[in-house]
Structure 1
């Protein structure tokens, strides 16, 4: 079974999945509660992204010609929420209210692990933020490679109003998007920002007028990435993440090593040959 076929076989109650032209759409489908991030949603998102992480492009990771062909039946993921009011309005407070410190620590750890799986997935993941992306919803969006937003989107980390702090990566990733000063202001005040300010600060890469155009723009972006070498895209994701905390000279050395490792690989040979022969590349995926 391909990755796409395995996804279709999953029995999910809080998510809707759809694969079209190698692009997987994952929709949090709890519009009555603004797609709140309940433990059940977390568990089902973990199921989906663990399957993707453990399957995509694994077969030929060593470059062996005798290994079975890698599975790139999913080449990109759009993560969104049902309806027009919310991407994910936040964590499910009713589910968190009576947690003990040990239970909340385990909850945070499981959710942080999910966001790490999303961030490190071999294919691009784009958040299509429609409406509210607050608290855990904002943290979920920030674990993606980049964020597109509809004009009615709003972002925030309002945990201080609940006597809490972000627990799913907000204190780490928000500064990576908007810078340390803007992140501290948002985190310490709990202030919401609209789509226009999110774009200005760098949290949202693009703002689209409505949900339909939002989804179309995300699919177009993912389709463009899907037309490239999947092995090179996966390597680029890995290197951009690895160099982020490094001094410039160490980051350049790591980049040079990763660059050299692509030489002689099947995708590199096919891509360069296709360019020289003025034809479309047919990448094997490793």
Structure 2
């Protein structure tokens, strides 16, 4: 039986063979702070090990899936590691921190139980990383998606650049990643980021539950086998890509542009990047 006591950023509920994982925040827009990154791999490991759970629905509370990484909450610990004059020690520590967050998202992708993401409202940055790790995605008509890291002087490093090419194609991925633009649910459906778009949040969640129920009715070991076979050609490529980007960001992420991005975010103004 899954033990979900003591959770802060996530809520887990069971209905028959379906587990529902809901992002709670506690930051605005379910932004992903320290509690989220600690709890996500624990929850999915528990669900993966629970034979009574045959499918998982992943969604967000309130009107949004997630605003993505909670920069103010995370930057306190990261600031010394991102100093322009940081030597090998701090940079190695930061690389390990990136890989810890990657492992959190990997827990969703590596879960042997099928995962259906139901997205409403904003799904930004880390939110896209997480839904890219799910097996299937559905959305409400008000959903908006953004691989926004470029706008905050970051190379996306938690899985979007590695997983989305196989979902939406490399051309669409390059457009989203290089522009950092927002797209609506209709565009997301057109490019294959989501399978279906529904009228509102309630309808999208109902559709995700129905889809999870269809999966849960099938033999569980067969579902595990399907996921294992489908991931055969991508697991190594994703793992290599994650390892490379963590090393890249540990070396090159500290920059004046990153500092400018954080300051502009805090001051609610448009950043002025200099390429430094």
Is the TM-score greater than 0.5?
yes
Shift in alpha-carbon separation, 1:30–1:245, aligned structure 2, 3 A: closer
Q: Structure 2 CA distance, aligned partners of 1:238 and 1:37?
A: 28
Using the TM superposition, give the Cα deviation of residue 96 of structure 1 relative to its aligned residue in structure 2, in angstroms. Answer: 3.3
- Which stretches in structure 1 are left out of the alignment for 5+ residues? 57-71, 247-286
Contact 2:139 2:198 in 1 (8 A): yes
Contact kept in structure 2, 1:150 and 1:211, CA below 8 Å:
yes
Which of the numbers 138, 143, 149 marks the counterpart of 2:128?
138
2:52 matched to 1:73? Answer: yes
Q: Partner of 1:278 in structure 2?
A: none
Q: Which deviates more from structure 2 when the two are superposed, residues 171-180 or residues 232-241?
A: 171-180
Distance (Å, rounded) in 2 between the aligned partners of 1:208 and 1:81? 16
The TM-score normalised by the length of structure 1 is 0.74
**TM score, norm. by length of structure 2:** 0.77
1:149 to 123, 134, 139: 139
Q: 1:103 to 1:196 in 2, by over 3 A?
A: farther
Contact 2:167 2:193 in 1 (8 A): yes
Partner of 1:20: 15
Q: Deviations over 1:211-251 (max 9, x none)?
A: 111111011001011111001011001001114489xxxxx
3-state SS, counterpart of residue 11 of structure 1: coil
Q: Who is 2:67 aligned against?
A: 89
**For the residues of structure 1 that align with 2:235 and 2:95, how far apart are their CA atoms?**
26
Whether the 8 Å contact between 1:160 and 1:188 is mirrored in structure 2 is yes
Query: In 2, are the aligned partners of 1:90 and 1:137 still within 8 Å (CA)?
Result: yes
Q: Which residue of 1 aligns with 2:108?
A: 118
Inter-partner Cα distance in structure 2 for 1:170 and 1:120 = 15
Q: What displacement does 1:31 show? A: 6.3
- What 5-or-longer segments of structure 2 have no aligned partner? 82-90, 237-276
CA displacement, residues 27-84 of structure 1 (integer Å, 9 cap, x when unaligned): 111265100011211101121112233x23xxxxxxxxxxxxxxx2111111111011
Q: Alignment RMSD, CA only?
A: 1.7
Which fold has the larger relative contact order, with Cα–Cα distance below 8 Å and residues 6 or more apart in sequence?
Answer: 2
Residue 243 to residue 174, structure 1, CA distance change in 2 (3 Å):
closer
1:177 aligns with 2:167: yes
Give the Cα–Cα distance (whole angstroms) in 1 for the partners of residues 145 and 62 of structure 2: 17
C-alpha displacement at 1:108, in angstroms? 2.0
- Match runs of 1:1-286 below 5 Å: 2-3=1-2, 6-7=3-4, 10-30=5-25, 33-53=28-48, 55-56=49-50, 72-84=51-63, 86-98=64-76, 99=78, 100=81, 101-244=91-234
Gap change, CA 1:94 and 1:32, over 3 Å in 2: closer
- Judge conservation of contact 2:32–2:70 (CA < 8 Å) in 1: yes
Extract structure 1 runs of 4+ deviating beyond 4 A.
Answer: none
Q: Secondary structure at the match of 1:215?
A: helix
- Contact 1:96 1:104 survives alignment (8 Å): no
Specify whether residues 155 and 30 from structure 1 end up closer, same or farther in structure 2 by C-alpha distance, changes over 3 A only: same
Q: Are 2:25 and 2:36, in contact at CA under 8 Å, matched by a contact in 1?
A: no
Q: Quick one: distance in 2 between partners of 1:149 and 1:183?
A: 19
